[in-house]
Amino acid sequence: MSAKPDLKIVLCSPRGFCAGVVRAIDTVERALDKYGAPVYVRHEIVHNKYVVDGLKKKGAIFVEELAEIPENTSAPVVFSAHGVPKSVPADAQSRNLFSLDATCPLVTKVHREAAIHFKRGREIFLIGHSHHPEVVGTLGQLPTGAVTLIETAEDAKTISPKDPNNLAFVTQTTLSIDDTAEIVALLKERFPNINGPHKEDICYATTNRQLAVKKVAPVVDALIVVGAPNSSNSQRLREVAEREGCGIAVLAQRATDIDWDKFGNIKSLGITAGASAPEVIVEEIMDAFAERYTLHVETVSAAEENEFFPLPRQVRPEAAAE
Protein backbone atom coordinates (compact mmCIF):
# COMPACT_ATOMS: atom_id res chain seq x y z
CA MET A 1 0.00 0.00 0.00
CA SER A 2 1.52 3.34 -1.08
CA ALA A 3 2.17 6.02 1.51
CA LYS A 4 -0.27 8.91 1.57
CA PRO A 5 1.11 12.22 0.25
CA ASP A 6 1.89 14.97 2.77
CA LEU A 7 -0.49 17.91 3.14
CA LYS A 8 0.12 21.01 5.22
CA ILE A 9 -3.12 22.24 6.82
CA VAL A 10 -3.13 25.88 7.93
CA LEU A 11 -6.04 26.62 10.26
CA CYS A 12 -7.23 30.23 10.38
CA SER A 13 -7.80 31.66 13.84
CA PRO A 14 -10.25 32.97 14.82
CA ARG A 15 -12.82 30.95 12.87
CA GLY A 16 -16.31 29.61 13.46
CA PHE A 17 -18.87 30.69 16.02
CA CYS A 18 -18.91 34.29 17.19
CA ALA A 19 -20.49 35.57 20.42
CA GLY A 20 -23.72 36.60 18.64
CA VAL A 21 -24.17 33.14 17.11
CA VAL A 22 -23.45 31.40 20.42
CA ARG A 23 -26.05 33.63 22.09
CA ALA A 24 -28.66 32.89 19.41
CA ILE A 25 -28.21 29.11 19.49
CA ASP A 26 -28.12 29.10 23.30
CA THR A 27 -31.37 31.10 23.35
CA VAL A 28 -33.18 28.37 21.38
CA GLU A 29 -31.62 25.55 23.44
CA ARG A 30 -32.41 27.25 26.77
CA ALA A 31 -35.98 27.91 25.63
CA LEU A 32 -36.37 24.21 24.75
CA ASP A 33 -34.97 23.21 28.16
CA LYS A 34 -37.12 25.68 30.08
CA TYR A 35 -40.43 25.59 28.19
CA GLY A 36 -40.24 22.30 26.31
CA ALA A 37 -40.89 21.63 22.63
CA PRO A 38 -41.95 23.10 20.38
CA VAL A 39 -40.04 26.37 20.21
CA TYR A 40 -40.78 28.32 17.04
CA VAL A 41 -37.92 30.17 15.34
CA ARG A 42 -38.58 32.84 12.73
CA HIS A 43 -36.07 32.30 9.92
CA GLU A 44 -32.93 30.15 10.35
CA ILE A 45 -31.54 31.08 13.78
CA VAL A 46 -28.14 31.32 12.05
CA HIS A 47 -27.26 30.47 8.45
CA ASN A 48 -26.01 26.94 8.95
CA LYS A 49 -27.90 23.78 7.98
CA TYR A 50 -26.06 21.57 10.49
CA VAL A 51 -27.03 23.88 13.36
CA VAL A 52 -30.62 24.25 12.16
CA ASP A 53 -31.06 20.49 11.66
CA GLY A 54 -29.63 19.85 15.15
CA LEU A 55 -32.14 22.24 16.72
CA LYS A 56 -35.00 20.70 14.72
CA LYS A 57 -34.16 17.32 16.24
CA LYS A 58 -34.44 18.88 19.71
CA GLY A 59 -37.89 20.31 18.98
CA ALA A 60 -37.38 23.67 17.26
CA ILE A 61 -39.78 24.48 14.42
CA PHE A 62 -38.48 26.96 11.85
CA VAL A 63 -40.87 29.29 10.04
CA GLU A 64 -40.32 32.17 7.67
CA GLU A 65 -43.30 34.22 8.85
CA LEU A 66 -45.29 34.43 12.08
CA ALA A 67 -48.45 33.57 10.12
CA GLU A 68 -47.17 29.96 10.01
CA ILE A 69 -47.38 29.70 13.82
CA PRO A 70 -50.66 28.30 15.17
CA GLU A 71 -53.13 30.61 16.91
CA ASN A 72 -53.33 30.55 20.72
CA THR A 73 -49.99 28.79 21.16
CA SER A 74 -48.07 29.38 24.39
CA ALA A 75 -44.83 28.15 22.80
CA PRO A 76 -41.92 30.63 22.66
CA VAL A 77 -41.12 32.32 19.36
CA VAL A 78 -37.45 33.22 18.81
CA PHE A 79 -36.33 35.97 16.41
CA SER A 80 -33.10 35.05 14.61
CA ALA A 81 -29.64 36.55 15.13
CA HIS A 82 -30.03 38.64 11.97
CA GLY A 83 -32.69 40.91 13.45
CA VAL A 84 -36.23 41.59 12.27
CA PRO A 85 -38.26 44.58 11.04
CA LYS A 86 -40.22 46.40 13.76
CA SER A 87 -43.43 45.04 12.29
CA VAL A 88 -42.53 41.50 13.41
CA PRO A 89 -42.44 42.03 17.21
CA ALA A 90 -45.50 44.27 16.83
CA ASP A 91 -47.31 41.43 15.05
CA ALA A 92 -46.17 38.96 17.73
CA GLN A 93 -47.50 41.25 20.46
CA SER A 94 -50.84 41.70 18.71
CA ARG A 95 -51.21 37.89 18.63
CA ASN A 96 -50.08 37.54 22.27
CA LEU A 97 -47.12 35.39 21.23
CA PHE A 98 -44.34 34.89 23.77
CA SER A 99 -41.29 36.16 21.88
CA LEU A 100 -37.57 35.93 22.60
CA ASP A 101 -35.27 38.26 20.69
CA ALA A 102 -31.99 36.56 19.72
CA THR A 103 -30.87 39.48 17.52
CA CYS A 104 -27.11 39.90 17.74
CA PRO A 105 -26.37 42.96 19.93
CA LEU A 106 -24.07 44.29 17.18
CA VAL A 107 -27.00 44.26 14.76
CA THR A 108 -29.14 45.99 17.39
CA LYS A 109 -26.41 48.65 17.58
CA VAL A 110 -26.90 49.38 13.87
CA HIS A 111 -30.69 49.58 14.38
CA ARG A 112 -30.18 52.16 17.14
CA GLU A 113 -27.77 54.20 15.02
CA ALA A 114 -30.29 54.32 12.16
CA ALA A 115 -33.07 55.37 14.55
CA ILE A 116 -30.94 58.21 15.97
CA HIS A 117 -30.07 59.50 12.49
CA PHE A 118 -33.75 59.39 11.53
CA LYS A 119 -34.71 61.28 14.70
CA ARG A 120 -32.19 63.96 13.74
CA GLY A 121 -33.79 64.32 10.32
CA ARG A 122 -30.97 62.82 8.28
CA GLU A 123 -31.32 60.90 5.05
CA ILE A 124 -29.81 57.46 5.70
CA PHE A 125 -27.79 55.16 3.47
CA LEU A 126 -27.47 51.49 4.38
CA ILE A 127 -24.46 49.72 2.86
CA GLY A 128 -25.44 46.08 2.46
CA HIS A 129 -26.87 43.31 0.29
CA SER A 130 -30.55 43.47 -0.63
CA HIS A 131 -32.80 40.66 0.61
CA HIS A 132 -30.30 39.53 3.26
CA PRO A 133 -32.37 39.14 6.45
CA GLU A 134 -30.13 41.54 8.39
CA VAL A 135 -30.67 44.24 5.75
CA VAL A 136 -34.43 43.55 5.66
CA GLY A 137 -34.47 43.94 9.45
CA THR A 138 -32.52 47.21 9.42
CA LEU A 139 -34.63 48.71 6.63
CA GLY A 140 -37.70 47.70 8.62
CA GLN A 141 -36.71 49.75 11.67
CA LEU A 142 -37.85 52.96 9.98
CA PRO A 143 -40.66 54.14 7.70
CA THR A 144 -40.50 53.12 4.04
CA GLY A 145 -38.20 55.44 2.10
CA ALA A 146 -36.23 56.64 5.14
CA VAL A 147 -33.27 54.40 4.28
CA THR A 148 -31.67 53.94 0.85
CA LEU A 149 -29.70 50.76 0.18
CA ILE A 150 -26.22 51.03 -1.34
CA GLU A 151 -24.87 47.71 -2.59
CA THR A 152 -21.91 48.65 -4.78
CA ALA A 153 -19.26 51.30 -5.38
CA GLU A 154 -21.23 52.24 -8.50
CA ASP A 155 -24.27 52.96 -6.31
CA ALA A 156 -22.11 55.22 -4.14
CA LYS A 157 -20.91 57.12 -7.21
CA THR A 158 -24.37 57.72 -8.66
CA ILE A 159 -26.75 58.13 -5.71
CA SER A 160 -28.49 61.53 -5.56
CA PRO A 161 -29.65 62.49 -2.05
CA LYS A 162 -32.20 65.20 -1.39
CA ASP A 163 -29.81 67.19 0.82
CA PRO A 164 -26.08 66.34 0.42
CA ASN A 165 -25.32 68.11 3.71
CA ASN A 166 -27.75 66.13 5.85
CA LEU A 167 -26.73 62.49 5.39
CA ALA A 168 -25.73 59.48 7.46
CA PHE A 169 -24.70 55.90 6.71
CA VAL A 170 -24.81 52.57 8.53
CA THR A 171 -23.65 49.16 7.29
CA GLN A 172 -24.57 45.51 7.41
CA THR A 173 -22.35 43.80 10.00
CA THR A 174 -21.11 40.94 7.78
CA LEU A 175 -19.64 42.75 4.77
CA SER A 176 -16.20 42.65 3.18
CA ILE A 177 -13.95 45.13 5.02
CA ASP A 178 -12.27 46.17 1.77
CA ASP A 179 -15.45 46.57 -0.32
CA THR A 180 -17.11 48.58 2.44
CA ALA A 181 -14.04 50.81 2.91
CA GLU A 182 -14.15 51.63 -0.81
CA ILE A 183 -17.85 52.53 -0.68
CA VAL A 184 -17.43 54.62 2.49
CA ALA A 185 -14.46 56.46 0.94
CA LEU A 186 -16.55 57.30 -2.13
CA LEU A 187 -19.43 58.57 0.00
CA LYS A 188 -17.12 60.71 2.14
CA GLU A 189 -15.45 62.12 -0.96
CA ARG A 190 -18.80 63.07 -2.51
CA PHE A 191 -20.48 64.12 0.75
CA PRO A 192 -17.82 65.41 3.20
CA ASN A 193 -20.43 66.15 5.89
CA ILE A 194 -21.91 62.64 5.93
CA ASN A 195 -22.33 61.15 9.42
CA GLY A 196 -20.95 57.67 10.02
CA PRO A 197 -20.87 55.31 13.00
CA HIS A 198 -18.58 56.23 15.92
CA LYS A 199 -17.29 52.67 15.78
CA GLU A 200 -17.20 50.45 12.69
CA ASP A 201 -20.52 48.67 12.02
CA ILE A 202 -18.80 45.62 10.51
CA CYS A 203 -18.62 43.33 13.52
CA TYR A 204 -15.42 42.23 15.24
CA ALA A 205 -15.96 38.59 14.20
CA THR A 206 -16.34 39.39 10.49
CA THR A 207 -13.25 41.62 10.63
CA ASN A 208 -11.09 39.11 12.52
CA ARG A 209 -12.01 36.17 10.29
CA GLN A 210 -11.23 38.18 7.17
CA LEU A 211 -7.86 39.28 8.60
CA ALA A 212 -6.92 35.65 9.31
CA VAL A 213 -7.83 34.64 5.74
CA LYS A 214 -5.72 37.52 4.41
CA LYS A 215 -2.75 36.06 6.27
CA VAL A 216 -3.31 32.46 5.13
CA ALA A 217 -4.68 32.72 1.57
CA PRO A 218 -1.44 33.91 -0.11
CA VAL A 219 0.63 31.04 1.32
CA VAL A 220 -1.60 28.00 0.56
CA ASP A 221 -2.58 26.22 -2.66
CA ALA A 222 -6.25 26.07 -1.71
CA LEU A 223 -8.61 27.31 1.00
CA ILE A 224 -11.90 25.91 2.26
CA VAL A 225 -14.43 28.12 4.01
CA VAL A 226 -16.81 26.05 6.12
CA GLY A 227 -20.13 27.82 5.73
CA ALA A 228 -23.47 28.00 3.98
CA PRO A 229 -24.13 29.61 0.57
CA ASN A 230 -26.64 32.01 2.18
CA SER A 231 -24.17 33.05 4.90
CA SER A 232 -22.95 36.55 4.04
CA ASN A 233 -19.86 36.44 6.24
CA SER A 234 -18.85 33.02 4.83
CA GLN A 235 -19.20 34.18 1.23
CA ARG A 236 -17.08 37.24 2.03
CA LEU A 237 -14.33 34.97 3.43
CA ARG A 238 -14.24 33.05 0.15
CA GLU A 239 -14.05 36.31 -1.81
CA VAL A 240 -11.24 37.60 0.42
CA ALA A 241 -9.26 34.39 -0.21
CA GLU A 242 -9.68 34.80 -3.98
CA ARG A 243 -8.70 38.45 -3.81
CA GLU A 244 -5.57 37.58 -1.86
CA GLY A 245 -4.44 35.27 -4.65
CA CYS A 246 -5.53 31.82 -3.49
CA GLY A 247 -6.02 29.72 -6.63
CA ILE A 248 -8.73 27.46 -5.19
CA ALA A 249 -11.16 29.02 -2.71
CA VAL A 250 -14.40 27.16 -2.07
CA LEU A 251 -17.33 27.09 0.31
CA ALA A 252 -18.30 23.76 1.90
CA GLN A 253 -21.17 23.01 4.28
CA ARG A 254 -19.98 19.43 4.95
CA ALA A 255 -17.14 17.11 3.91
CA THR A 256 -19.50 15.57 1.34
CA ASP A 257 -19.48 18.90 -0.55
CA ILE A 258 -15.79 18.64 -1.38
CA ASP A 259 -14.95 18.19 -5.07
CA TRP A 260 -11.84 16.02 -4.71
CA ASP A 261 -10.80 16.62 -8.32
CA LYS A 262 -10.00 20.21 -7.35
CA PHE A 263 -7.72 19.14 -4.51
CA GLY A 264 -5.74 16.38 -6.25
CA ASN A 265 -2.36 18.09 -6.51
CA ILE A 266 -2.27 20.49 -3.57
CA LYS A 267 0.56 20.58 -1.03
CA SER A 268 -1.06 23.05 1.39
CA LEU A 269 -4.63 23.83 2.41
CA GLY A 270 -6.09 26.67 4.46
CA ILE A 271 -9.27 26.07 6.43
CA THR A 272 -11.53 28.63 8.06
CA ALA A 273 -15.18 28.73 9.10
CA GLY A 274 -17.82 31.42 8.91
CA ALA A 275 -19.22 32.88 12.13
CA SER A 276 -22.24 30.55 12.02
CA ALA A 277 -20.31 27.34 11.28
CA PRO A 278 -19.55 24.87 14.11
CA GLU A 279 -16.04 23.54 14.75
CA VAL A 280 -17.29 19.95 14.41
CA ILE A 281 -17.56 20.50 10.62
CA VAL A 282 -13.97 21.77 10.48
CA GLU A 283 -12.95 18.52 12.19
CA GLU A 284 -15.11 16.48 9.81
CA ILE A 285 -13.40 18.08 6.79
CA MET A 286 -9.94 17.54 8.29
CA ASP A 287 -10.82 13.88 8.86
CA ALA A 288 -11.83 13.58 5.19
CA PHE A 289 -8.45 14.96 4.11
CA ALA A 290 -6.67 12.72 6.63
CA GLU A 291 -8.07 9.69 4.78
CA ARG A 292 -6.22 10.82 1.65
CA TYR A 293 -3.19 12.68 3.02
CA THR A 294 -0.75 12.66 5.91
CA LEU A 295 -1.64 15.93 7.62
CA HIS A 296 0.77 18.44 9.13
CA VAL A 297 -1.34 21.02 10.96
CA GLU A 298 -0.47 24.55 12.06
CA THR A 299 -2.56 27.54 13.10
CA VAL A 300 -2.20 31.15 11.98
CA SER A 301 -3.84 33.67 14.31
CA ALA A 302 -4.99 37.19 13.47
CA ALA A 303 -6.68 38.15 16.76
CA GLU A 304 -7.79 36.93 20.16
CA GLU A 305 -11.53 36.83 20.83
CA ASN A 306 -13.18 36.75 24.24
CA GLU A 307 -16.47 38.56 23.58
CA PHE A 308 -19.57 37.42 25.44
CA PHE A 309 -23.18 38.56 25.03
CA PRO A 310 -25.70 37.76 27.78
CA LEU A 311 -28.79 35.77 26.87
CA PRO A 312 -32.27 37.32 26.68
CA ARG A 313 -33.45 37.84 30.26
CA GLN A 314 -36.28 35.26 30.03
CA VAL A 315 -33.85 32.37 29.45
CA ARG A 316 -30.96 33.36 31.67
CA PRO A 317 -30.27 30.80 34.43
CA GLU A 318 -31.13 33.34 37.14
CA ALA A 319 -34.54 33.89 35.51
CA ALA A 320 -35.60 30.48 36.84
CA ALA A 321 -35.29 31.74 40.38
CA GLU A 322 -37.29 34.93 39.80
Residue 180 in marked binding region: no
C-alpha triplet 149, 273, 32: angle, nearest 5°: 85
Q: Which of 134, 154, 239, 322 is catalytic?
A: 134
Distance CA 129, CA 66 (A): 24
Residue 233 in marked binding region: yes
Query: Which residues on adjacent β-strands are paired with residue 273?
Result: 226
| Single-letter amino acid, residue 302 | A
Residue 246 in marked binding region: no
Residue 269: how many other CB atoms lie within 10 Å:
23
Query: Which residue intervals of the chain are DSSP H helices?
Result: 19-35, 49-58, 87-94, 105-119, 133-139, 153-158, 177-190, 204-216, 232-243, 279-290
How distant, in Å, are the alpha carbons of 89, 205, 219, 267 from that of 148?
Answer: 23, 26, 40, 46
Q: What is the DSSP letter of 185?
A: H
Residue 117 in marked binding region: no
Query: Which residues on adjacent β-strands are paired with residue 77?
Result: 40, 99
Closest among 202, 206, 217, 239 to 305, alpha carbons compared: 206
Residue 94 in marked binding region: no
Residue 296 in marked binding region: no
Q: Is 307 a catalytic residue?
A: no
Residue 173 in marked binding region: yes
Residue 12 in marked binding region: no
Residue 104 in marked binding region: yes
Residue 47 in marked binding region: yes
Q: Which residues are catalytic?
A: 134
Which residues are known binding-site members for isopentenyl diphosphate?
Answer: 47, 82, 132, 231-233, 276
Which residues are known binding-site members for dimethylallyl diphosphate?
Answer: 47, 82, 132, 231-233, 276
Which residues are known binding-site members for [4Fe-4S] cluster?
Answer: 18, 104, 203
Which residues are known binding-site members?
Answer: 18, 47, 82, 104, 132, 173, 203, 231-233, 276
